[in-house]
A and B are shown apart, each in its own frame.
Chain A
């Protein structure tokens, strides 16, 4: 469906995460190629959101390595030893990775336009005029060109989430992370957000999508990963897995959500 280059953009190797004694991620391996849409599903508490949040260091990595575009995330390796990156260096890495949250997290004191312009102006040092032009284009692209002057509280959940996608795209990231982007939405608003994500996938954006939308996985996903209990149970072609899951746990989960 989507033509994918063979170059891996994201490489997760042996990722573990502890919260105190609680072992949330128990050795995750995952590769996402350039231009690929990688969908991650699994029951709540399976660690899929935690895994996603490790990729842009919203969670610290307890063990293992994540690299994006060949660059190690969060560390610098000198003579086989890992050194923590400085806050500024971490911020620089995050600029290449866009993130969309379940609860949108738009800045409520800024209008839709100001939300999208904030990072390009403040982080990239773009001129306001340039950032505004680009932000209006992006809002148009997510179908909200006429809502640029609205505050988040004046927008529906679906509209807020589309502004949030535009805000992440404004930094021109090479990778987009979606953390259950439609889970907080009323059912009739889910479609608009999924359509924006489909367009984004078609344009060749590399995406990791944690979701409960099996239909989206089947239609747009290049790979599907099923996680449970902090491990990857099964991964491969979405259509194959959904039609013919190999593991009992996958079968059980799909049986409940389909």
Chain B
């Protein structure tokens, strides 16, 4: 067979391709609109690019970027830790855990994050002292609430606890997406519940969990602009707003904020790409294995063609089709 193919190679078909006039028309319209928009960016003096240039690296703005990043990262870390705990509790045999987890999600998902942030800001009014002790009995220690929960802590708690409810549902969906056979195989090997969860189920669930969690992180980046409800006044949106109010130039400072949010979002997307590649190993990403695949499914074949996978990995199933 092989020899024959080498001897007289087939004449490849050279068919006339189908014409796509629609593509040309749409390209023309869209390019024209983009050109008009770009032209306006350069010619419309109201954009005040000089002001954007002045403030883009302003100390207050860069500090605002730092605070926004800090709030995003810390509240997401808090939310992820709580969400794993809540998702595990939801799957537990212990009905008390299942119900507590359900009630937590119900409450924190059911009230606006803005309201929660205001409440955390007022927590020292609600509970002036934090104390531990036996209920109705002696007090062991007591702290001033205002000293422990300052604006930063209140903002992180408000954002993190609210987010944990959403993430808990994402984690729960992820854990449920793992085939039952995986649990059975691990049980049959004599592995304990905790080891099965951490080593077998969660790593596989992460494939499903990471894309929506990336979405939530980017969402959180912008939700941090609500922390003025606490009130917390150092984040990017507050900083640029304050400058805009001082200079009476809202548009260029909105552009400054938008540019920074876009930059951070882009960096987060790069990070997400690598996290997805890590948890896709064995399924989407077969890099560490040696040799050629034996059973080449469509998805395997797709991921084999090297670095072709772009940032568009939010829905691995879709892109594989």
Contact = CB atoms under 8 A, between A and B. Distances in A.
A97 B185 CA distance: 12
Contacts of A92: 190
B189 interface: yes
Interface residues of A, number: 41
Of the candidates B185, B195, B299, the one having the most CB atoms from chain A within 10 angstroms of its own CB is: B185
Contacts of B185: 99, 101, 105-107, 164
Interface string B273-300: 0000001011100101111011101011
A119 to B, nearest CB: 4
Interface in A147-186: 147, 149-157, 159, 164, 167-168, 171
B308 interface: no
Interface in A170-205: 171
A222 interface: no
B58 interface: no
A88 interface: yes
Interface stretch (A26-34, A72-80, A108-116): A108-116
A2 B161 CA distance: 64
Interface in A78-103: 87-88, 91-95, 97-99, 101, 103
Contacts of A110: 282
A58 B187 contact: yes
B181 A155 contact: no
Contacts of B162: none
Contact of B189 (A87, A118, A153): A118
Interface stretch (B102-110, B141-149, B168-176, B199-207): B199-207
A122 interface: yes
A2 B293 CA distance: 39
A118 B281 CA distance: 16
B281 A56 contact: no
B21 interface: no
Nearest to B179: A105
Contacts of A63: none
A58 B184 contact: yes
A199 to B, nearest CB: 21
Interface in B154-201: 179, 181-182, 184-193, 195, 199-200
B191 to A, nearest CB: 6
Given A149-B291, A153-B283, A105 B189 contact: no
A105 B190 contact: no
B184 A87 contact: no
B289 to A, nearest CB: 5
Contacts of B199: 118, 122
Contacts of A103: 181
B210 to A, nearest CB: 13
B204 A108 contact: yes
A156 B188 contact: no
A146 B289 CA distance: 11
Contacts of A155: 294-295
A168 B189 contact: yes
Which of A87, A119, A155 has most chain B Cβ within 10 Å? Answer: A119
B191 A159 contact: no
A93 B293 CA distance: 37
A115 B181 CA distance: 14
20 contacts: A87-B193, A91-B190, A91-B191, A94-B188, A98-B188, A106-B185, A108-B204, A108-B282, A109-B282, A118-B191, A123-B191, A123-B192, A149-B289, A151-B286, A153-B282, A153-B283, A153-B295, A154-B286, A154-B295, A167-B189
- Shortest Cβ-Cβ A-B pairs, 9 listed: A95-B190, A105-B185, A99-B188, A105-B181, A119-B189, A151-B282, A154-B293, A94-B190, A109-B282
Interface of A: 56, 58, 87-88, 91-95, 97-99, 101, 103, 105-111, 118-119, 122-123, 146-147, 149-157, 159, 164, 167-168, 171
